[in-house]
């Protein structure tokens, strides 16, 4: 750390700018990216700051540290989606850039999830009939990470010897006094995740 602090201020500004952009693009801090990939992304995002500081002798040039976070925001908001859409429409690649199907299903920003159904390995099913009704809640309409998913269960049915029982309405999911109840399902317990979606 001392070695970084002793670097010239311009180099520190480039690294800070690049890192701010990097953490906006890659918010999964448990990612197993190679160190070389991380550093190359930081330097690439810090490049506008480097160019600005090269040609701007004023101290105002250090405001260019904010360029990388802006670029990262634009990439995360629109650029990534349109880039992979272009690759798909050109028949170059059908990759989503999200790493796996689980992330693809639960991180797409331009898609509104309307219904969610989870089937657990024990056969029980849990369902959110109208995810939109929870869109203004603190955790709306669901919360997801690599370890599982949490959502508002409105209906459930249990596995029986002959198949499944009837769907039952969950009691007291919405409560004006205590708030709405959200249920967490560990990924290790999930056999199948089904989601209905509408493009915004």
Residues 190 and 126: beta-carbon distance below 8 Å: no
Q: Which long-range contacts (CB under 8 A, 24 or more apart) does 153-156 make?
A: 153/126, 153/127, 153/128, 153/181, 153/183, 154/127, 154/128, 154/129, 154/130, 155/126, 155/127, 155/128, 155/129, 156/124, 156/125, 156/126, 156/127
| Window from 46-50, 87-91, 126-130, 147-151 with minimum mean pLDDT | 87-91
Residue 39 has which token pair?
Answer: 């550093």
Query: What is the mean predicted confidence (pLDDT) over 144-150?
Result: 84
Q: Name the band, by pLDDT with cuts 50, 70 and 90, for residue 182.
A: very high
More confident residue, 178 or 100: 178
Domain 101-199, CATH number (from 2.30.30, 3.30.70, 3.40.109, 2.40.128): 2.30.30
Q: Is pLDDT of 100 > 70?
A: no
**How far apart are alpha carbons 88 and 70 in whole angstroms?**
26
Judged against a pLDDT cut of 80, whether residue 45 lies above it is answered with yes
Mean pLDDT of the chain: 81
Please state the pTM of the whole predicted model: 0.57
**Does the pLDDT of residue 26 top 80, yes or no?**
no
Query: Where exactly are the structural domains of the chain?
Result: 2-89, 101-199
pLDDT greater at residue 146 or residue 153: 153
């Amino acid at each position: 750390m001392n070695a970084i602090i002793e670097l010239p201020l311009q180099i520190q500004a480039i690294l800070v700018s690049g890192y701010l952009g990097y953490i906006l693009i890659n918010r999964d801090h448990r990612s197993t990216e190679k160190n070389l990939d991380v550093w190359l992304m930081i330097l690439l995002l810090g490049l506008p700051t480097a160019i600005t500081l090269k040609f701007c002798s004023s101290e105002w040039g250090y405001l260019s540290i904010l360029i990388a976070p802006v670029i990262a925001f634009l990439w995360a908001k629109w650029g990534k989606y349109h880039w992979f859409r272009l690759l798909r429409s050109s028949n170059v690649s059908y990759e989503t850039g999200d790493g796996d199907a689980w992330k693809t299903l639960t991180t797409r920003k331009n898609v509104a999830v309307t219904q969610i159904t989870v089937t657990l390995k024990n056969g029980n099913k849990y369902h959110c009939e109208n995810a939109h009704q929870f869109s203004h809640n603190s955790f709306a309409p669901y919360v997801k990470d690599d370890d599982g998913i949490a959502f508002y269960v409105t209906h459930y049915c249990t596995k029986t010897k002959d198949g499944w029982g009837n769907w039952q309405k969950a009691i007291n999911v919405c409560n004006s006094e205590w708030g709405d109840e959200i249920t967490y399902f560990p990924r290790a317990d999930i056999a199948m995740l089904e989601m209905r979606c509408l493009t915004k």
